[in-house]
Structure 1
C-alpha cells in the first residue's frame, strides 16, 4: 500500500510527533536569535539617539568656541523720534565701548539725465531715421568701470529704446523712463537715472557711432570730447556728522568711519527748531550682555540634555519590573559622561575668571550643570553670572574660546571625536549593523538546518509507519485465517 502521510498506515499520530519535535528544536534557538536581534536593534537605536544629541550639542559649542559668536558688541540707537529710524548700525567684537552723536545731513544719490525740451513729441517718435543702419549707445560710470551697450536700430521708437535699456542683461542700475510733459514746449522726455551713488560717479552715455540723431540722447561723442546732454542732477555722497565732525561716504553705508563700527543711513535727520541744525541720534556701543547671558544658559540646558540621555540609556532597573536602559552599564557612554564633566570642571589659565564657577555655573550631585539660587557665601549663581557679564565680559570669551584650554573648544573636539564619520559612535554603529546582518545569515542557515532535520525525522518515522502497517496487515490476515 502507498502511505500518503505519516501515521496513515500505522494509525499512529506520527505527523504530530514530528511537528512537536521540530517545535522543540526550533523554539529555543529561534528565541536566542530574536533576543539577540532585539538587543542589537535597541543598541543601534540608542547609539543613533546619543549621536544625534551629541551632534546637536557639538553645533552649540561650535558657535561658542569662536570669539566672533560669543564676544559680541551691541549697538543701541536712540533716534529723535521713535516713529522714524535715521540709520542702523553694526559693531564687530573689537569695537570699543563708546557713545556717539550722529546726524545724517544728506543721503547718497545717483545721477539723473533728461533729454532737452521738445526734443521728442511722444513716445512713438523714431530716434534713428538716417538710413545708415544700426548703431550702439554705451552707458557707463567712468570711476567704477560699470558699462553696458544698447543696440539702436533704424526706426526704433523712443519707447522701444527705453525697453532695450531697461531689459539689457548687463544693466548695472540704469533706469530709463518717458515723461510726457503734456505741453508743446516740453514734449516727451526720456529720463535716465543711475543707482550708482557717490560724487564723481555720474552716468555717461556715449554716442558710439557719432550719429547726429543720437546727440539728443547722449552725453558725449565716441571720443568723449564733445558735450551733448549734461546731468540735471549729479551723483552725490552721503553726508553725516559724528560728534560734530563732518564725514562722507559714496554709499549710504559708512564702514569703519567709527573704527570697527558701520552704520547705514536710511533717512535724513530732522531739522532742529532753528530750521538749520540737524537733530542728532545717539549711538551707543556696549557689550551684548543679554545675548551672552542667553548663550551661557542655553549651554547649560544643552549640556544637561546630553547627560540626561546618557543616564537614561545606561541605567539599571531598580527592580525586576523595571527594564534596564538600552545601553545599561555601557563603558563608552560612561566615558563620554566622565569626559564632559572633566572638561566643564577644568580651569582655563588664560582667563582671569579661571573656570565656569566664576560664571555661577556648577556641577551638581547628579552630574548636571546648574546656576544655583543658593548662596553659600560666594553669591548665588545668578549673582556671579551678572557680575562676570558686567565686569569681565571679554574674559568670559577666553573661558570658552582659548585654543588650548577653552571649554567650548575642548567640548567640540570631544563631540567630534565621537560623532564624525570615523568617530567612536559611528564605528560602534557599523559594528552593530554588521552583527544584525550576521543574524540574518544565521537565520538563513538555521532554516536550512531545520529543513534538513525535518526530512531526517520524516524519513525515520516513515519507516516506522510502514513497518507497523505491515505488522497490522499480517495480524489482520492471521485473525482472518483463524476464523
Structure 2
C-alpha cells in the first residue's frame, strides 16, 4: 500500500489536512484506551499491594494460631551470687505457678579410668609387644547398651591408640588422653566417659585376653577378671527442692517439679557454716511481658492491613487528591468488613468471651485499639491487666481454639483470598485479560487508521490532480489571451 505525497500538484496543504483528519479520528479512541489502560494498571498494582498485605497478615495470624507459647510460663531464677548461675530452667504452659528453693550438692559425672604407674614409660611405647599378635578392646556401658570396639595391632603406640579411640565413628562418648607424669609413674592413659549416672560405669574388655592389653582393660573376655579399677565411678546429680533430696542420672532434672525442668550448671556454694548449701530460688510465673507483646503485635498487624485497604479504596476529596488504586472496589471493601466482623465475634471457648474483655476495641475507623478511656467498664489497659491477672490461660483460647479462635478464623478467611485459585488471584487474572484486550484494541485501531489514511489520501489525490489540471488549463488560456 503506497501513501502518496499530497499537494504537490495543486499547491494545497492536503497532506496536513489528512494528518489532522487522522488525528481527529485517533485521539478520542486513544484517549479511551489510555484511560482503560491507566485504570487497568492501577487495578493490577492495587491488587498486588492488597494481596501482599493480606499475605503478610495471614503469616502473622498463622504464627499466632499455632503459637504453643502464647500462654507461656516464665521461669525466673535468683541465685545466691548474681554473677554465678547455679541452675537454668524451662517450664511448660501447664506448669503451676510458685516458688521453689533449690540447692545442688553434686553434679552428674561419668566414670574415669587410669592406667597403672610404670606400665608405660612414654606415649611412644607400644601397647602390644612384637610376636604377641593383634587383639581388640571393647568399650561399653552395661546399663545403656552403648558399645564400640578398637582393633589393636602389633606396634601400636600409646599415642596411636589414643587417636584410634577418640576418632572412632562409633565412639559413644569416651575420651582418651595421655598424661606424661615426668616421674617413675611414666605415661598414663586416662579414659573418661561422658555417660553419667550411678552404675553407668565404663567397662573396657580385653576381647582376646592378651597379656599386654591387661594394662588397658578393666576385665577379660568373660568379664570375670578385674584389671584396672575406676579412679572415679559414674555419679548422679543430687539436689534438694524445698528440702527434699532428688537425683538425676544427668544434670537435667525433668519433671521433678511437674511440667518444669531445670539443669544443674554447678554445685551450690556453702553457707557460712561450711556444711549447708545456699539455695537458688526458682519462681514459675506467667510470661506477661511476652503475651502483652503478642497481643499488641496482633493489634498493630491488623491495623496496618486496614490502613492499606483504606488507602487503596479511598476517593480523592478534591481534584488535587488522587483516588486510591482500588477506589470503591467492592472486593477490597468486603475484605475489610469481613475481617472487622471476625475480630468482633464472640468466642465461647474462652471465659473472656471476646477481644473486648481483653481490652481490645474497634474504633470509628474500623481499627483495633487498646483504649485508655474508661467508659464505666474500665479502660482497655485496665481490662488487659485484669485478664492477665485473673484469666491468663483463657487469653490463648481467644486466638488459638481450633473451632472459634480469632487467629484461626482469620487465617482460614485470608486463605480464601490469597491462596492459589482464591478470589484475589481470580481478580488478577481478569485484570490481566483486560490488559491483553487493551493491547489487541490498540493494534486493531492502528490497522483501521492505516486503512482510513489510505482512503483519505486516495480521495484527496484525485482532488490534487484535478486542481493541478485546472491550474494548467487556466495558465494556458491566460497565455493565449495575453
- TM-score with structure 2 setting the length: 0.90
Please say if residues 251 and 265 of structure 2, whose CA atoms lie closer than 8 Å, have aligned partners that are also in contact: yes
Deviates more, 1:437-446 or 1:35-44: 437-446
Q: Which residue of 1 aligns with 2:223?
A: 224
> In structure 2, what is the equivalent of residue 88 of structure 1?
88
| Native 8 Å contact 1:63 1:70 kept in 2 | no
Q: Name the residue aligned to 1:32.
A: 32
Query: What is the CA distance between 1:448 and its match in structure 2?
Result: 4.5
The more displaced of 360-369 and 132-141 is 132-141
Partner of 1:150: 150
- Give the conservation status (yes or no) of the 8 Å contact 2:140–2:146: yes
- How many Å separate the matches in 1 of 2:450 and 2:153? 89
For the structure 1 residues 47 and 191, does the alpha-carbon distance in structure 2 shift closer, same or farther, using more than 3 Å as the test? same
The answer to whether structure 1 residue 64 and structure 2 residue 64 are counterparts is yes
Within-5 A mapping of 1:93-242: 93-131=93-131, 135-183=135-183, 185-242=184-241
Alpha-carbon shift at residue 143 of structure 1 (Å): 2.5
Q: Structure 1 pair 38/116, CA: closer, same or farther in 2 (3 Å)?
A: farther
The runs of 5 or more residues in structure 1 that have no matched partner are none
| CA contact 1:63–1:69 (8 Å) conserved in 2 | no
- Rounded to whole Å, the distance in 2 between the matches of 1:466 and 1:157 is 117
Contact 2:5–2:15 at 8 Å: present in 1 too? yes
TM-aligned CA distance change 1:130 to 1:473, over 3 Å: farther
Alignment partner of 2:69: what SS?
Answer: helix
Q: Tell me the distance in 1 between the aligned counterparts of 2:104 and 2:433.
A: 69
Return the alpha-carbon distance in structure 1 between the equivalents of residues 129 and 459 of structure 2.
111
CA-to-aligned-CA distance 1:364-413 (integer Å, 9 cap, x gap): 11111112222222222211211111112122223223333222222222
Deviation of residue 33 (structure 1)?
3.0
SS of corresponding position for 2:246? strand
Q: CA deviation at 1:4?
A: 7.8
The answer to which of 261-270 and 193-202 deviates more is: 193-202
Alpha carbons of structure 1 residues 129 and 323: separation in structure 2 relative to 1, 3 Å: same
Partner SS state of residue 69, structure 1:
coil
Give the TM-score normalised by structure 1: 0.90
Deviations 1:26-49 (A, max 9, x none): 443333333323322222222222
Gaps of 5+ in 2: none
The superposition leaves residues 110-169 of structure 1 with CA deviations (integer Å, 9 ceiling, x where unpaired) of 222222222222222222343566544333333323333334333232222222222223
Contact 1:138 1:205 in 2 (8 A): yes
Shift in alpha-carbon separation, 1:475–1:261, aligned structure 2, 3 A:
same
Q: In structure 1, what is the equivalent of residue 53 of structure 2? A: 53
1:279 aligned residue: 278
CA distance in 2, matches of 1:454, 1:136: 101
The whole-number CA distance in structure 2 between the counterparts of 1:211 and 1:471 is 134
SS in 2 for 1:342: helix
Looking at structure 2, the residues matched to 411 and 277 of structure 1 have their Cα atoms a distance apart, in angstroms, of 56
Q: Residue 431 of structure 2 aligns with which residue?
A: 432
Aligned: 1:300 with 2:299 = yes
Are the counterparts in 1 of residues 3 and 457 from structure 2 also a CA contact under 8 Å?
A: no
Cα distance, 1:277–1:46 mapped onto 2, change above 3 Å: same
Deviates further, 68-77 or 124-133 = 124-133
Contact 2:3 2:454 in 1 (8 A): no
Determine whether 1:386 maps to 2:385: yes
Q: Is the 8 A contact 1:3 1:9 kept in 2?
A: no
| Conserved 8 A contact 2:4-2:457 | no
Q: Residues 239 and 246 of structure 1 are in contact (CA less than 8 Å); yes or no, is this contact kept in structure 2?
A: yes
Instruction: Give the whole-Å Cα distance in 2 for the aligned partners of 1:88 and 1:138.
Output: 36
